[in-house]
Each structure stands twice: as C-alpha cells, then as structure tokens.
Amino acid sequence: MWHGRFKQSMAEIVKDFTQSLDIDWRMAECDIEGSMAHVKMLGETGILKPDEALKIENGLTKVLDEIKNGKFTPSKDLEDVHMNIEARLTEIEPLGSKLHTARSRNDQVATTTRLYLRERLNILSEELNELLKVLISNSERHLKIIIPGYTHMQQAQPVSMGHYWLAWFENFYRDRTRLNSALESLNECPLGAGALAGSTLPINREMTSEILKFKNPTRNSLDTVANRDYMADFHYFASMLMIHISRLCNDLITWNSQEFAFVILPDEFCTGSSMMPQKKNPDVLELSRGKTGQVIGNFMDLLINLKGLPMTYNRDLQEDKRGLWNSLDTIENVIKIMSELLSKVEINQEIALSGLNKGFSLATDIAEFLVMRGVPFREAHEIVGKFVGWCIENNLRPENLNLSEWKKFIPEADEELLKILSPFESVKRRNTYGGTGFEQVERQIEEAKGRI
C-alpha cells in the first residue's frame, strides 16, 4: 500500500512481526460496515461520483458475502483486516482504489473497533440481564431459607438466602451500569479524523456518524486516533464484574465444602476425581474465579501500553486488541455458565441451621431486647458478652436454657425473649429498609424486577 516510498520490500520477518491479521480478522464484518458508510458519504458529498460510490458499495457487498461464506482467505502479507478487505475489493472492483479517500487506517481502526465492541457489549448486556433475572428468581426461591451471615468469616447474624442473592444482584447491577457507561464512551464516530489532522477534502463527518448510529462525530482529530479510553472503560467494567464473580464463586465453593455443606451444587456443573471416588468438585466455580486474573491483567496490559504514549497514533496501539478479545470472550462465557449454574443451586436448610447452632448469632437480638427494656446499649452489649462467655465455658447452648437459668445473667429475660430467639424470628424482625427481614427482601425483589 505504501511501496511508492520504498526501494526494497519488507523483510519476511518484519511482515510476521508487524501483522495484526490474526487478531483483527474477527472485525471483518464491522470493517465493511464502516467502509460502506464512508463510501456512501464520499458519494453524497460529490468527492466520488454517485456511480463510482455505488460500484464500490456493490464490491464491498461481494467481499462481505465471501467472508460470510468462508470463501475469503486473508493473507498476512497484507498486514491486517483493513488492507486485506481493501485489496480484495480492488481485485473485484478496480474503483476500490478510491475507497481510502480522506481516510487513514488510524481513524478506520478506531471506527471498526468501536463498532465491534459495541456489538459485543450489546450482547453482553442481554446476558448480564439474564444473570440478574436468575438472581431475582433465586431470591424468590430462597426467601425463607436462613443461612449464617458472616463478617470476618465468623458467624455474625442470620440472614435470608434471598437477601444474599440480592446482594449479588446489586453488584451485577452496578456492573451493568458500568457496561452502559462503556457503551456511552465509545459512542462517537472517529471516521474523518484521518491519520491525525482531518482532511482537505469536503467530507461530511456527521453523515458517517449518523449512518453508523453513533451519537456524534468525535470532536478532536488528534484525540480521536490516540484515544483508547473507551477500551479502558470496558476493561474496568470487565474487571469489576470478574471480581464480583470471583467473590461469589468463593462463597459457594466454601459453603459447598464438607465443613459448611449447606450449599448444594448441581451435579451437571461439577467434576469428579480420577482417583478419589467420593469427590464432587466445584470446578466451574474455581475456573470462573481463576479467570479473574486474566481479565484484570488485560486491563493492566492496556493501561501500561497507554502510559506515556505520545500524541497521537503509535504502533503500540495495535497491541490493544488481544486482551480486549480475551476479556470479551472470557466474561461472556463466565456470565453464561454462571447464570445456568446459579439457577440450579440449592440450599440445605437443616445443615445451615445446625451450623447456626454452633455460633451465637442471636447475641445482638438479645442485646436489642434489653435496649427495648431500657438498658443502655453499651451495658446490654457487656451483659450479653458475659453471657456468651459463660455459655462457652460451661458448654451450654442458649436455646437449651430455661428461664431461671437465663435470669442468672439477664434478669429482664422473659417468655417474650425466648419467643424471639430463633434464627427465623431474628431474620423476620430485621425489618429496616434494606435489611434482611422477609418483608424487606420481598420489597427488594419487586423493586429489582422493575429495575431490569
């Protein structure tokens, strides 16, 4: 494409080193979409004659068909997807050599990549919505199931499993907001920025932007060819999503272990061991957790690439896509498999409750009972703390004590206290806004349905 300037052709080793075809070929259809808009604009503005533009459009349609039918074998000699398509177009239609008028690969790459990323993000958005729906329906299924809530991995207070699922709903809902913001930041059309400075030809950038359904053309041509912020915005979304996935997976892996054992994973999503016949391993959860590193790594890869890059385009930027694809593919697979797996997770209520009988997760309820009887909270806290210590020393469980034993420590104890001291009552009574009380969770479920 640039042999005019050179006496010798490019060394083979350099061709191999500089090509990006293996990475960017997957954007072929988007590249044609961008070229179609560009050539339409060249025709409308009179830069090309209307029939020239039409012939080029027809040629592009033929190339597109060849790609779709798997008949197009691109060559690494032509560096990238953009030059391969243009070369094939020009073979089919010699006027193809006019397509690159008022365009550089710098604005072309940026346009094609934004189109491709937009397409994938729209699909991801739907898949993320599925995940949100699964979490809502899990919350409905498990509303009245009670599990220990933990802080510091120590039993803290009992919570509704429905409440737990909705906690993840909030996380993934924020991810969806970040996804939308990534979509927003790519929503400007780079076409017409040229190599870096625009064009002397009377192009119409609004027109191409409109045809390609962008909100508006990018505002500064130098920024346009140097900018990869929209990719970083995607990576931030992807990294946060995977961080959430990895934390969720870790909970389920832990609660599925024999020591906790209240989470039951679907057989179809687990693997066995080649040696130990008893094993049912949570490999899908572990792999999802394990893929988090790649996705965060891809984010770092881009940030480090961008750091200190001079204005404007530098070839370093060609390295921006490998990690982008890896993260797109990874999170799409993870979201899909996690949605299916989560919809089949069951809870063993009996085991969860028997686990609760090992801790003192109702201690706050006792203290709050005392508060209602007029005892200052700090005092109540100390009284109950001593009571718990006494139970531990004497190997006693509060639920087995009779009233007179209670009164030794807590003179205010009465039938009312005994009545509220069950995990079920404890959850039910935490009826503050956003709390774990069943009424609250039911309200959250209804709200969540309206939010997706």
In 3D, which of 350, 344, 365, 114 has the Cα closest to residue 217? 114
Any bridge partners for residue 306, and if so which? none
Of 273, 343, 404, 426, the catalytic one is 273
In 3D, which of 209, 201, 210 has the Cα closest to residue 98? 201
- Concerning whether 244 is annotated as a catalytic residue, the answer is no
Interacting residue with ligand ARG among 31, 80, 93, 175 (CB under 6 A): 80
Looking at 274-282, 297-305, 310-318, 371-379, which segment touches ligand ARG (CB under 6 A)? 310-318
Task: Give min distance, CB of 100 to ligand ARG, in A.
Answer: 12
Q: List all residues 6 or more positions away from 389 whose beta carbon is below 8 Å from its beta carbon.
A: none
Q: Does 20 bind ligand ARG (CB under 6 A)?
A: yes
Task: Give min distance, CB of 22 to ligand ARG, in A.
Answer: 11
Distance of CA 41 to the CA centre of its chain: 36
Interacting residue with ligand ARG among 318, 327, 330, 361 (CB under 6 A): 318
Q: Report phi then psi at 300, rounded to 5.
A: -60, -40
Is residue 144 packed enough to be buried (19+ CB in 10 Å), middle (13-18) or exposed (0-12)?
Answer: middle
Of 225 and 245, which CB lies nearer to ligand ARG in the complex structure? 225
Task: Give min distance, CB of 300 to ligand ARG, in A.
Answer: 20
Of 76 and 344, which CB lies nearer to ligand ARG in the complex structure? 76
Binding mask 205-234 for ligand ARG (x = CB under 6 A): ------------------------------
Of 3, 152, 274, 404, the catalytic one is 152
- Concerning whether 235 is annotated as a catalytic residue, the answer is no
Task: Give min distance, CB of 47 to ligand ARG, in A.
Answer: 22
Footprint on residues 83-122 left by ligand ARG (CB under 6 A): 105-106, 109
Could you tell me the two tokens for 356? 């609760």
Q: How many Cβ atoms are within 10 Å of 432's Cβ, its own excluded?
A: 9
Binding-site size, ligand ARG (CB under 6 A): 11
Interacting residue with ligand ARG among 28, 32, 40, 79 (CB under 6 A): 79
Q: Does 305 bind ligand ARG (CB under 6 A)?
A: no
Task: Give min distance, CB of 228 to ligand ARG, in A.
Answer: 11
Task: Give min distance, CB of 299 to ligand ARG, in A.
Answer: 19
Q: What is the binding site for ligand ARG (CB under 6 A)? A: 20, 24, 79-80, 105-106, 109, 313, 315, 317-318
Which positions are annotated as active-site residues?
A: 152, 273
